[in-house]
Amino acid sequence: MKTEQQTRAEMIDQQLAKAGWNVNDPTQVVQEFDIIVDLPEGVAEAQTPYQGHQFSDYVLLDILIEKRNLIQSPFTVIHPQEIRGVFSPAQINDILKLTETLAA
């Protein structure tokens, strides 16, 4: 089994390069994007350093942010209808709203 780093280097980074994205250019691709999420119900303060955070391995910077721009390797499968995996559809919509706000 490949590590996440190997999967990125050998598969995802190469596919992104073929699609015209330079993963080493922070104006095109942000890696390890920190997404602030609500704490669980009844929890007022984060109890661990990562509670209240989720991460997207890649965010592709474009004028139009689309679901295809969120890739979480190796735990997400991209299907023609939707992205399935680490983030629920509602969380993906929240991420899209956040990135649209940041891009504005």
* pLDDT tens digits, 38-59: 888 898 898 888 888 888 888 8
Say if residue 82's pLDDT is above 70: no
CA neighbor of 59 nearest in space, from 47, 71, 51, 49: 71
Quote the CA–CA distance of 66 and 60 in Å, as a whole number: 9
Q: Binning pLDDT at 50, 70 and 90, where does residue 69 land?
A: low
Predicted structure pTM score: 0.51
Quote the CA–CA distance of 39 and 57 in Å, as a whole number: 21
